[in-house]
């Protein structure tokens, strides 16, 4: 994927716009991401002021968005030879990783249950994925398996109990 995103013919802006719903970013964050793409493609200096000048955002809004994007690991800020560079290439890699983690989680459940999951179970698992950490979900599955109570209601109670602790 890294090779693909570094090719000239890969339209980062179009890809980002096509995957907006999946990225879970605010409007300020998306404006900053798109500004970084434009500034990098034009080989212009990327900093808070240059982004603020290019967009309707204030320097404070840009700084806040950069902080959130870095926390989400969508933005990497590198300092090399005294120069600061902003890279959003992680957006493309992270999305692939998140999708792989979800697919792996489905496979883990299907292997543990020794069958394909039903539609209702898939929906419930998706709800858990949005609410709980992947490792907590797997640990709850393992606990249910150890107790020989492999059903989604039991796993749900384990998850709810872990949330309350």
Annotated domain spans of the chain: 2-88, 96-164
| Domain 2-88, CATH number (from 1.10.10, 1.10.110, 1.20.120, 3.40.1710) | 1.10.10
| Rounded to 5°, angle at Cα 24 from 119 and 101 | 50
Rounded to an integer, what distance in angstroms lies between the CA atom of residue 130 and that of residue 157? 16
CB atoms near residue 37 (< 10 Å):
19
* pLDDT-wise least confident of 5-19, 48-62, 122-136: 5-19
Pick the CATH number of 96-164 from 1.10.3720, 1.10.10, 2.60.40, 1.20.58: 1.10.10
Question: Does the pTM exceed 0.85?
Answer: no
Structure-block tokens of residue 90: 């992680």
Q: Report the alpha-carbon distance of residue 51 to residue 88 in Å, rounded.
A: 14
Q: Dump pLDDT digits (tens) for 33-53.
A: 999 999 998 989 899 999 999
């Amino acid at each position: 994927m890294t090779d693909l995103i570094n090719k000239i013919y890969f339209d980062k802006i179009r890809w980002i716009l096509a995957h907006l719903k999946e990225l879970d970013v605010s409007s300020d964050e998306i404006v900053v991401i798109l500004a970084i793409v434009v500034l990098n493609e034009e080989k212009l200096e990327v900093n808070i002021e240059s982004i603020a000048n290019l967009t309707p955002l204030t320097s404070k809004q840009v700084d806040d968005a950069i902080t959130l994007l870095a926390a989400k690991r969508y933005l990497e800020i590198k300092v090399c030879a005294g120069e600061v560079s902003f890279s959003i290439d992680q957006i493309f890699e992270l999305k692939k990783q998140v999708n792989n983690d979800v697919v792996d989680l489905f496979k883990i459940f299907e292997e543990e249950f020794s069958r394909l999951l039903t539609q209702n179970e898939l929906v419930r698992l998706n709800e858990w994925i949005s609410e709980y950490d992947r490792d907590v979900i797997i640990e709850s599955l393992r606990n249910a398996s150890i107790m020989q109570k492999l059903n989604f209601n039991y796993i749900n109670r384990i998850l709810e109990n872990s949330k309350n602790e």
